[in-house]
Amino acid sequence: MKKKNLFYALVAGGIFLCAALQSGAQTVMDSLKEGERLFRLDRTDEAIPFLQKASSSGTAPQAFNYLGLCYHKKGELKMALDVFVRAMDVPGTDRRVLAFNAGNVCFDMLDFENAEKWYDSVLSADESYSPAVLNRANCRLNMGKIRESRDDYKKYLELCPEDVQKEEITLLLSVLEEEIVRLELEEMEKLSQEQRLKEEEERLAAKKAEEEALAAEKRRKLLEQMAAAIQEAENNAK
């Protein structure tokens, strides 16, 4: 009889534990859903506590992205970047989306070098992820990487031929092509000038070497003449 009572006690305890776990999981999911709802209503300050609670549980990886986006919306860029970067090591998170959002934060921080690196990491995993292509194009344009940004804009239009910004991007591409031609002509002129300078330097160096050789020859002949005169005078004295 005692064994039977113990068995029931263990079963009851298991049911209680299971119910507690289910309740905890439900609380986490409720926090995530409420945080997401408030985020979509643009009530970011209210959403943050719910998303912090959901993300701290370790069982709601989606919460990290929403939490980072909340900080980004509020203009708290360093905190947003910290959330996205930390979430990279959390099992179950969408690293592609996190890297993309980290790139966007760096872009807004005017840290174009790191923004480009984040977009690179996104595209190394999925080269057809068009938002990263477009944002990297904008990033490279700000960095003065004209040719690379041109290539990204072209690729973006290939991926999204019906994009609403197609006309603006096409116009920008024509401006970039003109700028690239100008830069190429400028580079050619620079190389031509460098070649002319090099040839002139070589000519002057050769002329100087020739003059020095002639001067050395004159000195040698003068020394020979002086030595001969001294020798002749010595012979006459005898």
pLDDT at 181: 92
> Using a CB cutoff of 8 Å and minimum separation of 24, what contacts does 132-136 make?
132/100, 132/103, 133/159, 135/100, 135/103, 135/104, 135/107, 136/103
Is the confidence at residue 12, as pLDDT, over 70? Answer: no
Average pLDDT of the chain to the nearest whole number = 85
Q: How confident is the model at residue 237 (pLDDT cuts 50, 70, 90)?
A: low
Is 40 buried (19+), middle (13-18) or exposed (0-12) by CB count in 10 A?
Answer: exposed
Q: What is the pTM of this model?
A: 0.69
pLDDT at 214: 78
Condensed to tens digits (0 to 9), the pLDDT of residues 141-193 reads 999 999 999 999 999 999 999 999 999 999 999 999 999 999 888 877 777 77
